[in-house]
Structure 1
């Protein structure tokens, strides 16, 4: 009894016996070995998955929310998800374009799609619209946060209202939508959250300072949310963040590309297909095209001047939309 009391006092003082220290060191050494094994395993698993991709899970019967569904990538996402048998909930602030997307889906004979006009930057409007969707359709099981805007001019040419609108739509909307829908996903222990960022969320570019900042934020949101979801036992809610290169949707008004044959703009159809495939395979993060992921990761290990030299060599950028 006295020995136990003495050991407790030593522990409180941070003192350990030689045997206890040896046991602690052995435990840490075992943990290091396990960690190294995991590094090696995941490294070779990633190589294997490049040649043998994971099986794409069915989305038939899922209720998929697509924001910005009235145009570009969003329209393609809604149509392609519907073609896979999902029930699609289309949100867009432009009611006319949104209704046209739903009408196109109906003409193709796909499962029913629903149209809701929604200002995603307004938290209360988001919560009210989610409540309507739940009443009309049911719980949303897949979120695709796609809506975004991209003014392209110098920071000093941006107004306060413009910067606030960029962050309201490109960043804050993600928070409001996730807060409104995630509780039902956790309760049902089923769901997937897809956040559309950009390759401009991996590299800073001129004429895109607020936009780049907003898309960097989406990457950070996705990574942190992935970690936080582990705190909910058995919730099984997945996250995916997508970083596309320049997409031919009309947002990239004045693109400049030195190597047009190898760095040409992506099509909305191809990006939407890549997004859906990544979601169905449970990918945590991808770029479109996929080689951009390895380029951005590699460049981050280089001296800043080397990264600048590569950027200048590639010559891919957006000119100001004010001139």
Structure 2
């Protein structure tokens, strides 16, 4: 028992020192930015790449030098248009119609990608839906659909492509999440729940990859972004906190991947939200409710991949 208490005491003494060293290391990284990785050997697959942020992401990866781009989605017309746009940039692009909420379809299309295009080295899990309703107003099938696409879909896609990345010792898993994973709002219970689950999935995955050389993960948590998916949403203070532009989110995301940044909050002021919830959780939740109380869910407030 005495030995155990000594171990605990040593840990308590070392913990502040380890935290201080971690803060100093993070500060050094900020002052001396990491040299961005070269994407010329990478094949990038973006789910939900036919529209919204996914379309901007696919194009941004192409602009920043990716070798090949693959886009998945459920609407062929949008996928074809996005693919043509990327090809106009001089980058090889392929599209596959795939519903990531369908496990069998994901595995089938992943096999087709490997046979037709080759190994995927950067997987961007972007596909998502939102129905924008309270629990009692939500349709059960719609609730299941959002969990299948927003959360379980990442399980299936990651299981499909991660093993080869581990073999190659080269790869990156990206999750396009939302700040709502950290601070839910009323009126979008399906989306908030699925994004919180997705955040936990990525946190666990990121820690698990620490012992896997050459394979990394990035989770992006943006504030309200002005895309078709959230058309009609209004915040109480639009001038103080305007919606993010999708091209800005795409650019910052690709930069985070190239510099191996594990977590990206957009804009940076969202860090204050995390700090506030850690120190005064109840007060923070009340303030978030007041801030988002005027979120308007119009008829068009419904997301599609």
Alignment TM-score, normalising by the size of structure 2:
0.91
Match runs of 1:105-144 below 5 Å: 105-109=86-90, 111-144=91-124
One of 288, 298, 304 as aligned partner of 1:321: 298
One of 200, 203, 215 as aligned partner of 2:183: 203
Distance 2:48 2:248 in 1: 17
- Cα 1:317–1:290, aligned 2, differ >3 Å: closer, same or farther? farther
Question: CA-atom RMSD, angstroms?
Answer: 2.1
Alpha-carbon shift at residue 184 of structure 1 (Å): 0.7
Structure with larger Rg: 1
- Cα 1:249–1:225, aligned 2, differ >3 Å: closer, same or farther? same
2:158 is aligned to 178
1:45 is aligned to 25
2:231 is aligned to 253
Verify: 1:89 aligned to 2:70, yes or no: yes
1:154 is aligned to 134
- Cα 1:26–1:32, aligned 2, differ >3 Å: closer, same or farther? same
Classify the secondary structure of the residue corresponding to 1:300. Answer: helix
1:311 is aligned to 288
Answer yes or no: is the 8 Å Cα contact 2:48–2:72 preserved in 1.
yes
Matched length: 299
Alpha-carbon shift at residue 296 of structure 1 (Å): 2.1
Instruction: Say which is worse superposed, 27-36 or 211-220, in terms of deviation.
Output: 27-36
Instruction: Say which is worse superposed, 309-318 or 246-255, in terms of deviation.
Output: 309-318
Distance 2:195 2:276 in 1: 20
Instruction: Say which is worse superposed, 42-51 or 140-149, in terms of deviation.
Output: 42-51
Q: Which structure has the higher relative contact order (CA within 8 Å, separation 6+)?
A: 2
**Cα deviation digits, residues 120-171 of structure 1 (max 9, x gap):** 1111111111111111121111110001111112221111110011011101
Distance 1:229 1:52 in 2: 24
Classify the secondary structure of the residue corresponding to 1:168. Answer: helix
Classify the secondary structure of the residue corresponding to 1:265. Answer: coil
1:59 is aligned to 39
Classify the secondary structure of the residue corresponding to 1:318. Answer: coil
Alpha-carbon shift at residue 313 of structure 1 (Å): 4.7
One of 192, 196, 202 as aligned partner of 1:212: 192
